Structure 1
Amino acid sequence: MSRFAKSKLRQNVEALVFAVALALLIRTFVFQPFKIPSGSMIPTLLVGDHLLVSKFIYGTKIPFTDKIVFPIEQIKRGDVIVFTYPNTEHDPSKNNIYYIKRVVGIPGDRIELDGRQLVINGQKVPIEFTGTYMDERNGEQFDEYGEDLFGDEHTVIYRKGRDSTNKGSFIPVSVVPEGHVFVMGDNRDNSQDSRFWGFVPFGNIAGKAFLIHWSWDFESPDIANKVRWNRILSGID
Structure 2
Amino acid sequence: MIFLFIRAFLIEAYRIPSPSMVPSMLVGDWLFVNKLIYGPHIPFTDTNLPGYGEPKRGNIVVFKSPPQVDQPWDPTPTLVKRIVGVGGDTLFMRNAVLHVNGIAQRQGYAAVAHGEDSRSELFDWQKRIALAKSRFGSAPAVPSLDNWGPLVIPANYFFMMGDNRYNSKDSRYWGIVPRENFRGKPLFVYYSYNADDSDRPLPFITDIRWSRLGHIIR
Which one has a bigger Cα radius of gyration? 1
Residue 168 of structure 1 pairs with residue 145 of structure 2: yes
Tell me which residue corresponds to 1:220. 198
Relative to 1, partners in 2 of residues 1:96 and 1:194: Cα closer, same or farther, differing over 3 Å?
Answer: closer
Tell me which residue corresponds to 1:13. none
| Pairwise CA distance, 1:201 | 1.4
Q: Which moved more, 1:180-189 or 1:225-234?
A: 225-234
Alignment of 1:40-79 (within 5 A): 40-63=20-43, 65-79=45-59
CA contact (8 A) 1:85 1:94 kept: no
Note the aligned Cα RMSD (angstroms). 2.2
Q: Which moved more, 1:166-175 or 1:85-94?
A: 85-94
In the alignment, structure 2 segments of 5+ residues that lack a partner are 120-143
Matches of 2:70 and 2:179, distance apart in 1 = 19
Alignment of 1:77-92 (within 5 A): 77-88=57-68, 91-92=71-72
Matches of 2:65 and 2:40, distance apart in 1 = 19
State the one-letter code of the partner of 1:220: S
Relative to 1, partners in 2 of residues 1:89 and 1:179: Cα closer, same or farther, differing over 3 Å?
Answer: farther
Residue 158 of structure 1 pairs with residue 107 of structure 2: no
Matches of 1:95 and 1:197, distance apart in 2 = 10
Question: Does the residue aligned with 1:172 lie in a helix, a strand or coil?
Answer: strand
Post-superposition Cα deviations, 1:21-80, rounded to whole Å, max 9, x if no partner, equal 001000100011000111111111110000011111012335555444432111011111
CA contact (8 A) 1:39 1:46 kept: yes
Question: Does the residue aligned with 1:230 lie in a helix, a strand or coil?
Answer: helix
Q: Which runs of 4+ in 1 moved over 6 A?
A: none
- The number of aligned residues is 190
Q: Which moved more, 1:221-230 or 1:50-59?
A: 221-230
Calculate the TM-score normalised by the size of structure 2: 0.79
State the one-letter code of the partner of 2:198: S
Matches of 1:232 and 1:22, distance apart in 2 = 26
Matches of 2:82 and 2:94, distance apart in 1 = 18
Q: Which moved more, 1:176-185 or 1:92-101?
A: 92-101
- Of the three residues 140, 158, 173, the one matched with 1:181 is 158
Q: Which has the higher strand share?
A: 1
- Of the three residues 201, 212, 217, the one matched with 1:231 is 212
Matches of 1:156 and 1:205, distance apart in 2 = 25
Alignment of 1:6-155 (within 5 A): 21-63=1-43, 65-88=45-68, 91-125=71-105, 127=106, 145=107, 147=108, 155=109
Between the two proteins, what is the percent identity of the paired residues? Answer: 35
Post-superposition Cα deviations, 1:100-131, rounded to whole Å, max 9, x if no partner, equal 11111111111111123111112222x2xxxx
Tell me which residue corresponds to 2:186. 209
State the one-letter code of the partner of 2:189: I
Question: Does the residue aligned with 1:158 lie in a helix, a strand or coil?
Answer: coil
Calculate the TM-score normalised by the size of structure 1: 0.73
Relative to 1, partners in 2 of residues 1:47 and 1:63: Cα closer, same or farther, differing over 3 Å?
Answer: closer
CA contact (8 A) 2:161 2:170 kept: yes
In the alignment, structure 1 segments of 5+ residues that lack a partner are 1-20, 128-144, 148-154
State the one-letter code of the partner of 1:159: A
